[in-house]
Amino acid sequence: MLYDLQRLTTLVDDAKKNSQKRKFTQAVELVVNFKGLDVKAPENRINETIGLPHLIGREVKVCIIADGDMVIKARASGADFIITKAELDQYAGNKKAVKKLASQYDYFAARTDMMATVGKTLGSILGPRGKMPDPILPQANIEPIVKKYKNAVRVKIRDQLAVRCRIGSEDMASKDIAENIQAVLAAIERKIKLDQYLSSIVVKTTMGKPVKIR
């Protein structure tokens, strides 16, 4: 399924025009509604981090859980917070601290040999929020991983027949937002047969009226 960039750009422009000016910069959101999709079936659930061609207009925070040389690499890569092996132990049994961590950071990644401990220590909080860390090999280059997170959006299908995600802000160029929309829809279409299960696709600002894409 192809979504013409020029048409999407025009629809994003319309969504901006349909929105009253506020005292804050509004997000631009994409909403994809499904019909007849069994969301209880594992194959129909999505929890995917999608790299976008453009930033989404807000700060995205990344936490890296690592040890040894990877700590130095993570700091140099621009990670917002780093948890070492010794520091990870301090979160054990401290649900309040783990909940605070989950609310402060958008994406988590951890060294592969620390994943078991991460699961025991943080899993009960991060798991239900869809924020379980991605595993990183000890020899991996951290910089492109952090860069991808900074330029990404998480798309989830869990209990509802819809996907809702931020794909920009109203002060961004409409063409850039349209290209982000293309990236998200392409990723969803790789998982779900939109021709069969799609109900509607709309784009809107935070407080604005939705504009129908399809």
User: 139-160 pLDDT, tens per residue?
Assistant: 999 999 999 899 899 898 877 8
pLDDT tier for residue 203 given thresholds of 50, 70 and 90: very high
Query: How many whole angstroms from its chain centre is CA 142?
Result: 18
DSSP secondary structure code for residue 159 in this structure = S
Q: What pairing do the DSSP bridges indicate for beta strands 46-51 and 62-65? A: unpaired
Global confidence as pTM: 0.84
User: 8-67 pLDDT, tens per residue?
Assistant: 999 999 999 988 888 889 999 999 999 999 888 888 888 888 999 999 988 899 999 999
Segment 63-85 mean pLDDT: 94
Domains and CATH numbers, the chain: 5-57+152-212 (3.30.190.20), 62-149 (3.40.50.790)
Q: Are 62 and 143 in contact (CB under 8 A)?
A: no
DSSP secondary structure string for all residues of 102-153: HHH-SEEEEEGGGHHHHHHHHHHHHTTTT-PPEEE-TT--HHHHHHHHHTEE
Least confident of 38-47, 52-61, 162-171, 180-189: 38-47
Q: Give yes or no for residue 2 having a pLDDT over 70.
A: no
User: What pLDDT, on the 0 to 100 scale, is given for residue 183?
Assistant: 95
At 141, list the tokens: 């280059």
DSSP secondary structure code for residue 200 in this structure = E
